[in-house]
Amino acid sequence: MQDAIKRCPWSEKDQLYRDYHDNEWGRPVYDDMVLFEFLILESFQAGLSWHTILKKRENFREAFDDFSYERIAHYQEDKIQKLMLNAGIIRNQLKIRAAVTNAQRFLEVREQYGTFCDYIWNFVGGQPIVNAPKTLSEIPATTELSDLLAADLKKKGFKFMGSTVVYAHMQATGMVWDHLVDCHCSASIEV
């Protein structure tokens, strides 16, 4: 049952989407563990719906050791094969292997910059970019900034981090604020 709160239209599919929209999407994330979780989830989402990923999120959490980049970076072939048999997640071998590679690259970025947060938030000057769209059609799938960040991640060896995936990550983690201006969440943005 839909409530009377005005939300971005994409979030009205069901309560799972409404909760994600109201409590997570667009909220600035400065915690490396959460940033990594979204990197993993977004990379698995490539070519699929975000709703599919959200429905499997807890399965991913369990299968990928609570998104511990330290643990995932050291996964061996037996763990990868076990993940390939896990019907609770997306069983795409390339994406599973990319998760391991991305955890390794994530650790390298942390070593170089102190935190992944410091690295990635530097692309937006440490503050969310507030776009204030009036309609969904005004929200891009990519931007010059997501192109730049995706290219830098690729240069660092990250996989499944094209510009569309990167822009979705930027939206999810609050680097860009794409809630519609008439969405109830827009009243809560703090920059």
Q: Which positions make up the binding site for Zn(2+)?
A: 8, 21, 179, 183
Report the distance separating Cα 117 and Cα 90, nearest Å.
26
Q: What are the backbone dihedrals phi and psi of residue 5, each rounded to the nearest 5 degrees, phi first?
A: -75, 135
Active site annotation includes 42: yes
Active site annotation includes 75: no
Helix (H) or strand (E) holding 60: helix 57-63
Helix (H, G, I), strand (E, B) or coil at 95: helix
Q: Please name the residues in contact with 92: beta carbons below 8 A apart, sequence gap of 6 or more.
A: 44
Active site annotation includes 69: no
Are the C-beta atoms of residues 191 and 127 closer than 8 Å to each other? yes
Catalytic-role residue among 17, 25, 37, 42: 42
Catalytic-role residue among 20, 24, 30, 108: 20
Annotated binding site: 8, 21, 179, 183
Catalytic-role residue among 10, 24, 30, 50: 50
Name the nearest CA neighbour of 36 among 107, 142, 112, 124: 107
Output the CA–CA distances (angstroms, integers) from residue 69 to 54, 85, 89, 100, 106, in the order listed: 20, 21, 17, 8, 7
Residues annotated as catalytic are: 20, 42, 50
